Structure 1
Amino acid sequence: MFFENPRGYIVFDCDGTLVSSKEAVISAVAEVMSIILQRDVSIEEARKKYGPDMVYTANQFGLDPVGSEIQRNKLMSTWKEVTSKQSNDYKLFAGMKKLILDLLNQEFQLYVWTARDRRSTLRILDDQDVLQHFLELRCLDDTTPKPHPQGLIEMLEDAPKDKIMLIGDSFSDTQGAKSFGVKSIGALWESGITKDGFGEHTADYWATHPSECLEIILNNINK
Structure 2
Amino acid sequence: MTWFLDHVGDVLDLAVQHAYLAGIPLVVGLLLALPLGWLARRFTWLYGPFTAGFGLLYTIPSLALFVILPLVTGYGILSPVNVIVALSLYTVALLVRTVADGLGAVPDDVENAATAMGYTRGKRFFAVELPLAVPVIAAGLRVAAVSNVSIVSVATVIGVQQLGLLFSDGFNRDFYDPLVVGILGCVALALLFDGVIVTAARVLTPWTRATGARA
TM-score (normalised: structure 1): 0.28
Point out the structure with max Rg over C-alpha. 2
TM-score normalized with structure 2 length: 0.29
Higher helix share: 2
Structure with greater strand percent: 1
